[in-house]
Amino acid sequence: MTFAEIVKIVDDFAWGPVMLILLVGTGLYLSIRMGFMQFTRFGYAMKNTLGKIFNKQEAGHGEVTPFQAMTTALAGTVGTGNIAGVTGAIFIGGPGAVFWLWLSALVGMVTKYSEVVLAVKYRERNAHGDWVGGPMYYIKNGLGRNWTWLAYIFAFFAMVASFGIGNTTQVDSIATAIGTAVSAFGGDAGSTAFRIVIGVIVAVFAAAVILGGIKRIGAVTEKLVPFMAVVYILASLIVIIGNIGQIGAVLSAIFVGAFSPRAIAGGALGVGIMTTIQKGIARGVFSNEAGLGSAPIAHAATSETDPVKQGIYGIFEVFMDSIVICTLTSLALLMGLSGQFGIDGIEWGVSHGSEMVVTAFSGIFGGKLAAIIIAVGLSLFALSTILSWSLYGTRCCEFLFGKASPIATKVYKVLFCVVLVIGSLMGLDIVWDIGDALNGLMALPNLVALLLLSGTVIDATKEHFRKEDR
């Protein structure tokens, strides 16, 4: 049995029916218990996140501002999953995968809110005086000594996953996107040497930021995330407006394909409903990270002392990532390709990565400019994700190795940068399968903890809004 076959087996297990039910079910359960606050408190969430984006904030030693904590988490959230991940979901699961991505995001808003609330409530100071938290800490401090084994399981899977979702998938996508741009101008981007150079450049940049700790990561993401989001959103809107005549056919393909993918994809390709649901939810979670337990690790470093106030940023993150950016990618891709080939002329069932987004954008911007836009957008998304996931992996390594963590975390950071170079040479399909599999494995212990600690989140939420509504 080959390595790829083993990865596929683990991936199918991690994202099988039980996992999908647990993931969506947890979000739905929390939504019901909290009165669907992602809708009823949406205005409050936007006012206290987006509405405060220009407010001056300060943080003490070992802390970052609430906005920096959010941008660090959002940096990990808004990544290649928003471009290459969405594209892969659509081309493997058909247009209907977008519907299931939306569904996972709507319930995922409350899931991530709950994660952040628990991360701030149960965080602690480490030996350096930094705030540290996340699933491993709210399992240990919230569930008690008898559940410590689950905390270690999460930390192990998350540390290993950082080399997948936060490393190899990101740098491989950067190399592919830049290679597509270079090829558009007649350059030779297919060599191993080219990809190694890209990997080394990314590794050097990452090392320069990572070694500066949480403060430097927060300072960089605070500037990088808003800029990259605005540029990509504007480019996507231009493509959508330029192909507005295709909106009816595309929306029909999404909603019909969600429940009857063969009606869109054609029986010959064999795209089944389970594949559509699986890829839509899996890549949605890969993108917005609701339920994984990764983002709370960044939020735990906030200077904010009210868990609910910081938790509101979790709702904003999922909204911005999946409802805004992933939707724009989906519509721009489907409308751009439909305008060139017709909805029935697209070969669903084949993963083309970021190259197909370039094709979709080229109808409006032209091949060369489209390649540059996607290369820049995807590279910035991926770089920010790499920075965030290096922090997540470091915190998990610190938790796992305890007193030996100073040496262990240094080794981890060096290894993380080395793997960036190796990842630039790996094939895209196997990289995404590894990322999906590891995501599923780390989500399981986190979702169990969320359900067991749901009462704590509900009590904190009710108390907070009881004061706000006076």
Report the amino acid identity of residue 146.
N
Neighbours of 330 (CB within 10 A): 25
State mean pLDDT over 406-430.
Answer: 84
Rounded Cα distance, 388 and 112, in Å: 16
Residue 266 predicted with pLDDT over 50: no
- Going 300 to 303 to 306 to 311, the CA torsion angle's sign is negative
Report the amino acid identity of residue 72.
T
User: At 395, is the pLDDT very low, low, confident or very high (cuts 50, 70, 90)?
Assistant: very high
Structure tokens at 21: 């039910």
Tens of pLDDT along 76-87? 666 666 776 777
Percent of the chain with pLDDT over 70: 84
Task: List the single range of 43-52, 115-124, 260-269, 406-415 with lowest mean pLDDT.
Answer: 260-269
Tens of pLDDT along 290-301? 888 988 998 898
Q: For the residues of 358-418, what is the DSSP string, one character each?
A: HHHHHHHH-HHHHHHHHHHHHHHHHHHHHHHHHHHHHHHHHHHHGGGHHHHHHHHHHHHHH
Q: What is the pLDDT of residue 189?
A: 65
- DSSP secondary-structure letter at 64? B
Q: What is the pTM of this model?
A: 0.86
Give the residues across from 302 on adjacent strands. Answer: 64
State mean pLDDT over 380-386.
Answer: 84
**By three-state DSSP, how is residue 132 classified?**
strand
Q: What are phi and psi of 64, to 5 degrees?
A: -125, 165
Higher pLDDT, 293 or 287: 293
Structure tokens at 201: 């450049």
User: At 63, is the pLDDT very low, low, confident or very high (cuts 50, 70, 90)?
Assistant: low
The conformational region for residue 408 under phi > 0 = left, psi -120 to 50 = alpha, else beta, is alpha
Rounded Cα distance, 166 and 330, in Å: 22
CATH code, domain carrying 49: 1.20.1740.10
Residue 264 predicted with pLDDT over 70: no
**Boundaries of domain holding 333:** 3-468
The single residue listed with the structure tokens 């969506």 is: 24
Residue 59 predicted with pLDDT over 60: no
Do residues 182 and 175 touch, judged by C-beta distance below 8 A? Answer: no
Residue 208 predicted with pLDDT over 50: yes
User: At 350, is the pLDDT very low, low, confident or very high (cuts 50, 70, 90)?
Assistant: very low
State mean pLDDT over 403-415.
Answer: 86
Q: What is the pLDDT of residue 91?
A: 77
- Quote the crossing angle between the two packed helices 97-121 and 84-93, to the nearest 10°: 140
The single residue listed with the structure tokens 């909204």 is: 319
Angle 158-453-300 (CA atoms, 0-180°, nearest 5)?
50
Task: List the single range of 47-51, 98-102, 113-117, 154-158 with lowest mean pLDDT.
Answer: 47-51
Residue 453 predicted with pLDDT over 90: yes
Percent of the chain with pLDDT over 90: 25
Tens of pLDDT along 130-168? 889 999 999 999 998 899 999 999 999 999 888 887 888
**By three-state DSSP, how is residue 124 classified?**
strand
Rounded Cα distance, 389 and 410, in Å: 15
Higher pLDDT, 392 or 164: 392
User: At 439, is the pLDDT very low, low, confident or very high (cuts 50, 70, 90)?
Assistant: confident
Tens of pLDDT along 7-58? 777 777 777 777 778 888 899 999 999 999 999 999 988 888 877 666 665 6
Residue 75 predicted with pLDDT over 90: no
Rounded Cα distance, 264 and 297, in Å: 40
Q: What is the pLDDT of residue 265?
A: 46
Q: What is the pLDDT of residue 34?
A: 92
Rounded Cα distance, 40 and 107, in Å: 13
Residue 60 predicted with pLDDT over 60: no
Q: What is the pLDDT of residue 291?
A: 87
Rounded Cα distance, 423 and 169, in Å: 7
Higher pLDDT, 394 or 59: 394
Structure tokens at 93: 């699961």
Do residues 287 and 79 touch, judged by C-beta distance below 8 A? Answer: yes
Q: What are phi and psi of 279, to 5 degrees?
A: -70, -35
Q: For the residues of 35-56, what is the DSSP string, one character each?
A: TSHHHHTHHHHHHTTGGGTTS-
Domain count, the chain: 1
Residue 428 predicted with pLDDT over 70: no
Q: What is the pLDDT of residue 269?
A: 44
Do residues 83 and 233 touch, judged by C-beta distance below 8 A? Answer: no
The residues, any chain, with a CB within 8 Å of residue 109's CB and separated by 6 or more, are: 27, 38, 290, 314, 315, 318, 319
The conformational region for residue 37 under phi > 0 = left, psi -120 to 50 = alpha, else beta, is alpha
Most confident among 77-91, 194-208, 424-438 (mean pLDDT): 194-208
Task: List the single range of 90-94, 115-119, 154-158 with lowest mean pLDDT.
Answer: 90-94
Residue 319 predicted with pLDDT over 70: yes
State mean pLDDT over 417-435.
Answer: 76
Mean pLDDT of all residues in the chain?
81
Higher pLDDT, 406 or 278: 406
Q: What is the pLDDT of residue 174?
A: 84
User: At 176, is the pLDDT very low, low, confident or very high (cuts 50, 70, 90)?
Assistant: confident
Residue 66 predicted with pLDDT over 90: no
